Amino acid sequence: MSELQRSQSIAIDLDIRPLAGRIGAQIDNVRLEGDLPDRAIAAIENALSKYKVIFFRNQGHLDDAGQERFAARLGDLVAHPTSPARSGSAGILELDSTDGRGRADRWHTDVTFVEAFPRISVLRGVVIPLFGGDTVWANTVAAYDGLPAALKTLAESLWAVHSNLYDYAAARPQASAAAVKQYEDVFTSTVYETEHPVVRVLPRTGERSLVLGHFVRRFVGYSQSDSNHLF
Average pLDDT over residues 176-188: 69
pLDDT (0 to 100) of residue 4: 47
Of 83-92, 122-131, 208-217, give the range with the top mean pLDDT: 208-217
Mean pLDDT of 7-33: 83
pLDDT number for residue 101:
54
Q: List, edge to edge, every strand of the sheet that includes 16-18.
A: 16-18, 25-27, 54-56
- Is 230's pLDDT higher than 70? yes
Question: How far apart (Å, rounded) are the C-alpha atoms in residues 184 and 147?
Answer: 37
Confidence band (pLDDT; 50, 70, 90) for 224? very high
Helices (H) and strands (E) in the chain, counts: 8, 8
Residue 164 exposed, middle or buried by CB count within 10 Å (0-12, 13-18, 19+): buried
If DSSP codes are grouped into helix, strand and coil, which group holds residue 164? coil
Which residue from 71, 70, 57, 74 is spatially nearest to 19, judged by alpha carbons?
57
Nearest alpha carbon to residue 54 among 45, 63, 42, 67: 45
Q: What is the pLDDT of residue 10?
A: 46
The string of pLDDT tens digits covering residues 89-113 is 877 888 777 665 556 778 999 999 9
**What domains appear along the chain, each with residue ranges and CATH number?**
1-61 (no CATH), 80-230 (3.60.130.10)
Percentage, residues of the chain above pLDDT 70: 84
